[in-house]
Every structure is written in C-alpha cells, then in structure tokens.
Structure 1
C-alpha cells in the first residue's frame, strides 16, 4: 500500500504528546504500521507516517480516539505529493470571517432576512443562483458608500496571510474564488497576495445598487470549472491542487481537488469532504501539506 501520513493539527498549544499517542494506538488497533512522530510545530502539528491502512479509515479512527473535546483536527493522505502547486480558496467565511452579502444587507436593514437565505443556500437546502438573485434584489437602492463601509469592517481569518504567502513563496499559484462580489474579492486578493480572483459583479447606476447581479452568475459548477481551468493553464494534474471552502457551492471543487478541505464548514460540507478542519486556523492547510513552522511566511 502507498505510504500514508496522518497529520494532527490544533491551535497553538492545543496538541499534546498524549493526543498523538491516542491517535497512534487507534491506527495500530486497526493493524496499521505506524512510524515515529514528526513534529511540524511544537504543540500545534505533528505527522504520523503509517502503512497497511486506508487514509479514510485512519482519519475516522483518529477522530474517534481523540473525541470532539480534544479540539484536534486529523487529516490523512498519501505521503507523496502533499505539497500542492495550485490553491483555490473560497472567500466568505473561509479567507474572511464573515459573509459580505449579509453585512451589506445590514446597511439596508434586511440582514436577518438575507442571512437566513444565506444559511439555507450554504447548507444546500436551496439553489445558490436563486438565493443570490433574491438576496441581491433586497439591496436595490443601497448607496455605494455601503460597499466601502463593509470592506473596512472585513477581518481576515487567522492564518490566511500565512497560507497565501507560504504557498506563493514555494511556487504555487493562488486564486480566490467566490459566489460573492468582485468589489470585495479584488481587495482581498490584492491585500493577501492572491495571483487572481473570480467572483460575481454587483450592478449599480453610479450612485446606488440596482438590485441585480451581472450575468453569468458564478456558482457551484463554475468553481469546479475554474479549478480545472487553472490546473490546465499551469500544467498541473488535479492531484497537485488544493481547494478550501465552507459552503455547499464549494462541494464539487473540494471533491475534485487533490486535497479538498472543508474549513469550519456547514454540516453538509463537513460530512462530504475527505478532509476537514473544524478547530484550527488556516495554517492547518500548510501543516497538512507537510510545511514546518520555520517554513511558514508571515
């Protein structure tokens, strides 16, 4: 069987030798041969090389052994080819901490109504395109100054800067993709150093939003198509790609990427993704690729 590696990741100070020992024994109980622990970052991330066990079995066993109370993430995968050459990242609730459309809606006095539709769309309960059109329609007449106020309130998810800077420094192409809006993706991409961004465009009359979004609307299928297009453009197999997101419209790209990570994701996404990060920050995506703390760029 191909050599595998189980990476255990927590927030700084959250990973102990006891956690690693629990995971090791869980793998051994299933007949795996487990190698020496390789600490990627003290008390934060460690690799356990193993063989004779499938990656999904190892991940499930480690999660059961650790339990939710440990607040430790576990990602198992093939040891070869861990470092990816292409990053495709969702923006809202992934690279940034909020949903920009919901925050725009707050300025229009309809945040609760819009946020409920957002929740249902990200959980896969309703069609993303229909949900986007309905939500944007509620913003008709909103002054363009609300866009700038929303941008100024944006906060980046911890680890986002390090993720992009480190992967760029090691030759990866980094792209930001969103079912949200270019007004925000352009600024986020410029600030964090993404090579490019892809998103929807809000329409306005020069003073206020018209309540419409430009066609074609970027949705779930387009995220997958963008992953495939960028892989071809950069001469990469999909196995050399990393995708990260949290909502139902990210599912197809997460499934197709060499490493698709559900990040603090909605239940439907967390349940479907092969890899997920529930507790750590975005530095977890670097540790999952085998980067050591000393290699991470600020």
Structure 2
C-alpha cells in the first residue's frame, strides 16, 4: 500500500537537503521513497514511500532529522482528508487554560494552575480536579468571566483549520472539559458547527462554586466522538481529533487522525501524531492540503 510521510516545519525551516537525507535513510532500510511533493515550499512536504510500516518510517525520519524542529506523520495515502474535526479548546484552539486565567481574578491562579497541570498530565482524576478547582471560585463575580474572555487568544492556525475543513464539507465541533461560557464564544468566532462542554452555575451574579451535571470528562469526549461519527454516518477512520491533555487521550487514540498538540508528556508519548513545533495548520498539511487551498479563517 502506498503511504505518505508528511513533514511540517516553521516557515522556511524545511529544505531540499532535509528531504534528500530522509530519502537516503528510508532507502537504507529497504523502503522505496518517491519524489517529494511540496505542499508549501520551505514549510511542508509529502514524501511518498512503500516497503516500510508507517511507524517505522516516522522513527527513521526522527533519527534522520536529528532533533530538527519538524513535525511529521506517516499514513496511508488513501483517506487522508477527514470529514469530522473534534477539537479540545484550552491550550489547543485557544492558547490558555481559561479556568486558570479566571482564577487569577480570585487571586488563585498559581494554586489552581498547578491542579490543572497535574490533571492534564493524568496525575489526578479529571472530574475530582474540576470540582475542586471550581469550588475554590465560589463567590467570584461573573464579570470575571467577561474579563477572562477579553484576554483569551486564539491559537495560530486554528481559524485556518476550521475554515478550510468546513469549506471542504467537514463537520467541526469543540469538545472541552472547560465551560460553555467560553466554548460558545470560541465556536461563534471561528465557525465551529457545535460545542460541547461543562456549565458553571451562577446565582445572583456570582459563581456558586458548582459545575452542572453531567460533567464532561475523558469518557464523555470519546463518547462525543463516537456519537457524532455515527450521526454523520462516518467511520472513525474519517475523523480528526486534537488536544493536549490526559482527558483528550482516549479520543485522540480512537480517531483516524488523532493529534497531540503541544501536549503534556503523557499524551505526547501515547499519540501517533504530534505537533510540537508548528501551528494548527499542520493538521491541514497532514491531510494533504496545499498552502493555496488553506483559507485564512
């Protein structure tokens, strides 16, 4: 079966000698690499190959590139473009952890951020960690939500990812252990079809310190992926998921293309596809989109 190894680097960071070195390394193991196809000159290229398993090709590429800031992924050439995008929000579609930023207005950012870090690395039960952190914010005026939203930044490439996949017929949704106050605004801003997340309970203009039930956790993210795929009559192989935390891992591993984006160590170690050096446009290059096809968002 023909396969494709895609390499993506910061603009101008990928050169012909890199591809030549990689072709030589693949040939040394008995693979038959084809002619490189530049998706974006100096930034992204496809290298077709046969005669080697995808995981072996990625291992060879990482050794050949010797730690260069290049993200890469190998997969069958057929079926690369996905019809469902399901994305985490915090530290994925937006650059921050919105709950941590919200906690700053209660003077608790460092304390809550440490719990977040441990939860996202799989050291704490997600549900318990969420309930604990929200409980610490009881009495915080809802004005803090608006102020946090005003400071929230979209991750580079997120708008292009959603706009391009949506224009090509994909269903795009956010699934987050965060909160509807933020996911709804992010979905509206970037053009996601839907968003699924948790609800912060409010009374008399202040947070109650409670989260609405049911709580959306790791299992719920995977369930959302399977439900949406079934509703759209898609096999999981036609889906793309992306996230950074331990609560994203199940959906990352279940998707046809599951990407750990600048992820926590436990997630990066377990995911086949990783983006460590570039932005979310890499997910489009992994699907074979050319620079000229990518919309600005």
* Shared fold per TM-score greater than 0.5: yes
Please tell me whether residue 134 in structure 1 is matched to residue 136 in structure 2: no
- In structure 1, distance between residues paired with 2:25 and 2:273: 18
Q: Contact 1:63–1:73 (CA<8 Å) still a contact in 2?
A: no
* TM-score relative to the length of structure 1: 0.98
TM superposition shift of 1:24: 1.6
- In structure 2, distance between residues paired with 1:25 and 1:87: 35
Q: Contact 1:8–1:20 (CA<8 Å) still a contact in 2?
A: no
3-state SS in 2 of match to 1:92: coil
Q: Where do 5+ consecutive residues of structure 2 fail to align?
A: none
After TM superposition, the runs of 4+ consecutive aligned structure 1 residues lying more than 4 A away are: none
- In structure 1, distance between residues paired with 2:90 and 2:66: 28
Q: Where do 5+ consecutive residues of structure 1 fail to align?
A: none
TM superposition shift of 1:74: 1.0
3-state SS in 2 of match to 1:91: coil
- In structure 2, distance between residues paired with 1:127 and 1:88: 22
Please tell me whether residue 92 in structure 1 is matched to residue 90 in structure 2: yes
Deviations 1:153-196 (A, max 9, x none): 01010000000000000000000110000000000000000000
TM superposition shift of 1:256: 0.5
- In structure 2, distance between residues paired with 1:21 and 1:209: 58
- In structure 1, distance between residues paired with 2:3 and 2:172: 26
Q: Contact 1:24–1:34 (CA<8 Å) still a contact in 2?
A: yes
* TM-score relative to the length of structure 2: 0.99
Q: Contact 1:94–1:263 (CA<8 Å) still a contact in 2?
A: yes
2:45 equivalent in structure 1: 46
2:161 equivalent in structure 1: 163
Deviations 1:61-87 (A, max 9, x none): 10121122x101111011100000000
2:115 equivalent in structure 1: 117
- In structure 2, distance between residues paired with 1:14 and 1:152: 33
Match of 1:192 among 190, 196, 200: 190
Equivalent residues in 2 for 1:214-229, closer than 5 Å: 214-229=212-227
- In structure 2, distance between residues paired with 1:282 and 1:212: 33
TM superposition shift of 1:22: 2.3
1:58 equivalent in structure 2: 57
3-state SS in 2 of match to 1:93: coil
- In structure 2, distance between residues paired with 1:190 and 1:42: 32
- In structure 1, distance between residues paired with 2:291 and 2:204: 47
1:276 equivalent in structure 2: 274
1:27 equivalent in structure 2: 26
- In structure 2, distance between residues paired with 1:271 and 1:154: 28
TM superposition shift of 1:272: 0.2
- In structure 2, distance between residues paired with 1:45 and 1:206: 52
1:289 equivalent in structure 2: 287
Q: Contact 1:40–1:292 (CA<8 Å) still a contact in 2?
A: yes
How many residues are matched? Answer: 296
- In structure 2, distance between residues paired with 1:175 and 1:29: 43
